Structures are given as C-alpha cells and as structure tokens.
Amino acid sequence: MTLRLERPVHGVLFDLDGTLVDSLADIHAAVAGTLAALALPVPDVAAVRGYVGDGVRALLDRALAGALGHAADADLTARATALFEPRYGEQNGRAARLYPGVVAGLDRLGALGLRLAVVTNKPQRFSEALLAGLGIADRFGAVIGGDAAARRKPHADPLLLACARLDVAPADALMVGDSAIDAAAARAAGMPMIAVGYGYHHDDPARWSACVVDRIDAIPDLLATPAPRTGTA
Ligand SMILES: O=C(O)COP(=O)(O)O
Ligand SMILES: [Mg+2]
C-alpha cells in the first residue's frame, strides 16, 4: 500500500466507530430499543451498519426511513432522538471492543513522539465515555465529537479543531478512518488519509483511499518508511 508523504507527520487523527472501536452491537441495541418503543419494525445489525457514519441525526433518519418506507416527519424524529439518547447512554461500551492492533499501534505512535486525537461524528459525551471505558482516553491529546465543531465530517472543521488542540499544522497531520466521509474530511483539511480495510464503510476503501491497512499497528512502519524516490538518481 502506498502512502505518499510530502512532509513528516507530527499528528495522527483517528476516526472512532469502525476504526478504533467495533461499537456496532451497542449502536444496534439502542436503535432497536428506540424503534421498538415507537412500535416500529426493528432493523437487523446489517441494516444499522449501513446507517452509521454521519452522526446520530442521520442514523435515526435512516433507521426511521427504513422502518416506515419513507422519511420521518420532524415530530417523529424528535421523539426518536429523545428515546435514543438515554438508551445509547446506557448501552454505550457494553459490547464495544477495540479492534486488534489498536493498543499496540497507539503505543508505537506515541513512542515515536506523534500527537494523537480522535475525530468522530459520535456526540462528544458518548465518545469520551466510550474511550474512558475502553481504557484508552489518556492516549489522546484531543477528542473532537460530532457536536464539538461548527460542522462535522465530511467538513474539515473538526479535523482543523483537533490540529489546533494538538498544536500540529494540518499539513503535518494524517487522518485514519473507515469511511469515505473520513476521506472527504481529510481532503478538505488538506491532509493525507489512511483507511482501515475493516469497519462500517459501504464499498471498497481502495476507491477513496490510496493507502489501506488491516490493523492500526501497521501504521507506524508506514510513517517510518520514506516515500520511494521518483526520477533518476
Ligand atoms: O457515530 C457516527 O455516526 C460515526 O462515528 P465515526 O465518525 O467515529 O465513524
Ligand atoms: Mg467511522
């Protein structure tokens, strides 16, 4: 996999759901509980996997549309949001697990002196609680949730905010994520992107990222390897 770096990397920004943490079972449980409370058909895990990535509002819009066969009105969306929040607060972290290689990868990146952040569309309080519960909150110099910046991914705002908190120039940072939303945000922020081959993306990550890894602990070696020289010596 090729990673063309024009400058040394000083900061690494990680997406959360589908990249560091397999959180789908908890998200599914909260969505299922929400739809059941509304007396609507409950989606299976595969359906909810396709709804994740654009934050809670989009998650519920998609789940309601899936159950109704058409878009929900504002009143139903508001009721679903009010039902979802406490359910996810309770469920968050119960079944969630770090993907293999995450702790080793974060350790090695930290040992290289890189500053690390999480940039996620999951709301701030749920993100902080999840990272704390998994015992990795202290690895990150910044956690930027989906409600922390003016606009969420795919906009550049949360990535730029993370860089400001880490005191790293965006051009010296790198985004790691599992979706085309992360890739678009990285592009908008002017930074390179590494995709993970697992996660909740809906297509082949090679379509939107030039570099795909199977584990987070493969990343330190990519950063240490100088890009191949082109042209004649
Ligand atoms: O909660 C979401 O919608 C997705 O979260 P992510 O940005 O960490 O993938
Ligand atoms: Mg993700």
Instruction: Give the start-to-end residue ranges of the domains of the chain.
Output: 11-22+96-224, 24-91
Model pLDDT, residue 226: 54
Say how far apart CA 185 and CA 157 lie, in whole Å.
8
CATH pick for 11-22+96-224 out of 3.40.50.1000, 3.90.76.10, 3.40.50.80, 1.20.1250.20: 3.40.50.1000
9-23 in b/e form (b: 16+ CB < 10 A) is bbbbbbbbbbbbbbb
Q: What is the mean pLDDT of each run of 10 residues along the chain (233 residues)?
A: 82 98 98 98 96 95 97 97 98 98 98 97 98 98 97 98 97 96 97 96 87 96 67 46
Which listed residue (15, 26, 61, 157) is catalytic?
A: 15
Nearest-atom index, ligand 1, CA of 52: 3
**What fold is seen in the domain 24-91?**
DNA polymerase; domain 1 (1.10.150)
Q: Which residues line ligand 1 (CB under 6 A)?
A: 15-18, 52-55, 59, 120-122
Pocket mutation for ligand 1, best pick of 13, 51, 52, 99 (most atoms within 8 Å of C-beta): 52
By alpha-carbon position, which residue is closest to atom 4 of ligand 1?
53
Binding site for Mg(2+), by residue number, is 15, 17, 178
Q: What pLDDT sits at residue 225?
A: 57
- DSSP state at residue 116: E
Give the model's pLDDT for residue 210.
83
Characterize the bridge pairing of strands 173-177 and 142-144: unpaired
Q: What is the pLDDT of residue 4?
A: 79
Is the preceding peptide bond at 154 cis, omega within 30 degrees of 0? Answer: yes
Q: Best substitution site from 120, 136, 143, 200 to test ligand 1's pocket, by max atoms within 8 Å of Cβ?
A: 120
Binding site: residue ranges?
Answer: 15, 17, 178
- As for the ipTM of the complex, it is 0.97
As a whole number of Å, the end-to-end CA separation of the chain is: 23
| CA 58 to ligand 1 center in whole angstroms | 10
Tell me if 11-22+96-224 shares its fold with 24-91.
no
